[in-house]
Structure 1
Amino acid sequence: MDLATAIGFIIGIGFMIWGITLTGEVTTFFHIPSIVIVLGGTVAATFISFPLKKVFKTIKVVKNAFIEKTIEPVEIIQNIIELSNVARREGLLALEEAAESIDDEFLKKGIILIVDGTDPELVRNILETEVAFLEERHGEGQNIFQTMGGFSPAFGMIGTLIGLINMLKDLDDPSGIGPNMSVALITTFYGSLFANLIFLPLANKLKGRSREEILVKELILEGLLSIQAGENPRIIEEKLKTFLSPEQRKNMKLEAESEGA
């Protein structure tokens, strides 16, 4: 489980409740009609904006924000270096057997293309197309949550207008002005809360996950093409290290030194 997502929600809700208790009562801010207006309107507008199939698919994708799917670029680089050594010693055809023990489908697909003698430019085009469509699929989920983040405050304002209309309707009753105004403002509160604590953060989390996965796939693509070109494993390693952060490069160097010792 991704603790950052869980901790973020807990801290956000916790500090919100704490802040409310310092100035008033929590029950004052719990208003079912306001929640119905904001969530109902946001969901309805989302269904209107996107195909039903994509909306349901995105709901399933939400789990990716809570599951920590660790993709280690350093480990991928080490696998590619091992493959390059095999190709250098035994030839490209020997990679077919090595591919059987690889779990990464993208890497395995690239190896099969190379073993089949596919033209390097065609290999690049096929794998780049797959990366592009992966990015597009990921972008759909991000876009839906970003859109919900935009709709939510808007329906909060609609709820506020509803509350103001009710207030003006009963303007001859001074005792109802305060409660009606409170309800009107609570709806705006929910609209901003859902947008900035749930929908937009989820979109950003999914965007970060997507960037990590695409970076690894670009790394794999560059490594495979280098193997196919017959480049020296050391050159391939130095080339792929450019995809890593300084900290990751340092850790990779330390691991190599410890193995060498």
Structure 2
Amino acid sequence: MDILSLLGIILAFMALLGGNLLEGGTLASLFNGPAALIVIGGTLAATMLQTSGALLKRAFVQARWVFVPPYIGLDDGVGKIMDWSVKARKQGLLGLEGAAEKEPEAFARKGLQLLVDGAETETIRSVMEVDLESREQRDLEAAQVFEAMGGYSPTIGIIGAVMGLIQVMTNLTDPSALGSGIATAFVATIYGVALANLLFFPIANKMREIVRRRSRYEDMMIDGIVAIAEGENPRSIEMRLRGFVQS
């Protein structure tokens, strides 16, 4: 569980609600069904219109990374590569066959299998880089879904505000109907801007940050496995890989 993300979202909405109370408002004044329907429904509809089903599903599945991010252990990765390099130096590349079969990470397992099969270093690098780049691109596209939602929601909030004002203008002779129309107008704007800046944009940025960290981890794996294939000294490999951890 990413405690920082959890605290961030709690603090954001506490600040919003607390500020409203300090200004003399009530919690009830910020809860408006029509405004929520316009902003949330409109934002989802616009996003669905521009996004394929597979990408939309991937985006919402990956959104859990904000609170439960995948484990990316750079130090553990360095330790793995060092174990492989020492074993390869003592037993040869075929000695890594057992490690390849037991390796739980699909990306590292593919690299080790290429190593054991005697593939050329350029082949190992190119195959693994294609895997890295294609998955990175898919993950970044998933983050862009939430970025698009952050772009749509304030505009749809304005649409909701205009709709509320239209209701107000058509009911000028009925004072009892003015309050609900004005409330919908202003609350819709709040919903649109708040969802964009307190939820959608932060989720997109957090997802991108996780994608960059995982790509750095996989870049480190590529460098380490290629270095083993080239027969580099384990100490030299470790010194090189420590640069990924420190950056």
Residue in structure 2 matched with residue 213 of structure 1 by the alignment: 214
Give the number of aligned pairs: 246
Answer with 174-183 or 61-70: which moved more.
174-183
Q: Structure 2 CA distance, aligned partners of 1:174 and 1:64?
A: 48
Post-superposition offset of 1:69: 2.6
Tell me if 1:230 matches 2:231. Answer: yes
Residue in structure 2 matched with residue 189 of structure 1 by the alignment: 190
Letter in 1 for 2:5: T
Residue in structure 1 matched with residue 107 of structure 2 by the alignment: 106
Tell me if 1:34 matches 2:40. Answer: no
TM-score by length of 1: 0.89
Post-superposition offset of 1:129: 0.2
**Aligned partner of residue 244 in structure 1, secondary structure:** helix
Residue in structure 1 matched with residue 15 of structure 2 by the alignment: 15
Post-superposition offset of 1:175: 6.3
Which runs of no fewer than 5 residues in structure 1 stay unpaired? 247-261
Letter in 1 for 2:105: D
Aligned identity (percent) is 35
Letter in 2 for 1:144: V
Letter in 1 for 2:8: G
Q: Structure 2 CA distance, aligned partners of 1:198 and 1:3?
A: 16
- Superposition pairs for residues 1-261 of structure 1, below 5 Å? 1-23=1-23, 24-173=25-174, 177=178, 179-245=180-246
Cα RMSD for the two superposed structures: 1.6
Q: Structure 1 CA distance, aligned partners of 2:68 and 2:190?
A: 29
Letter in 1 for 2:20: I
Post-superposition offset of 1:173: 4.8
Q: Structure 2 CA distance, aligned partners of 1:144 and 1:204?
A: 11
Post-superposition offset of 1:99: 2.3
Answer with 145-154 or 163-172: which moved more.
163-172
**Aligned partner of residue 102 in structure 2, secondary structure:** coil
Letter in 1 for 2:10: I
Q: Deviations over 1:176-201 (max 9, x none)?
A: 55553332111100001111111111
Letter in 2 for 1:222: D
Q: Structure 2 CA distance, aligned partners of 1:52 and 1:104?
A: 27
Q: Deviations over 1:3-24 (max 9, x none)?
A: 1221111111122111111111
Answer with 177-186 or 149-158: which moved more.
177-186
Post-superposition offset of 1:70: 2.5
TM-score by length of 2: 0.94
Q: Deviations over 1:29-71 (max 9, x none)?
A: 1100000000000000011001122212322222222113331
Q: Structure 2 CA distance, aligned partners of 1:100 and 1:122?
A: 20
Q: Structure 2 CA distance, aligned partners of 1:217 and 1:171?
A: 63
Q: Deviations over 1:204-227 (max 9, x none)?
A: 111111111111000000000000
Q: Is the 8 A contact 2:59 2:142 kept in 1?
A: yes
Letter in 2 for 1:73: L
Letter in 2 for 1:153: P
**Aligned partner of residue 100 in structure 1, secondary structure:** helix
Q: Deviations over 1:88-143 (max 9, x none)?
A: 11111111123233222211110110111111111111000000011011012101
Residue in structure 2 matched with residue 258 of structure 1 by the alignment: none
Post-superposition offset of 1:163: 1.1
Q: Structure 2 CA distance, aligned partners of 1:85 and 1:228?
A: 12
Q: Structure 2 CA distance, aligned partners of 1:61 and 1:87?
A: 36
Q: Structure 1 CA distance, aligned partners of 2:99 and 2:188?
A: 59
Residue in structure 2 matched with residue 252 of structure 1 by the alignment: none
Letter in 1 for 2:16: M
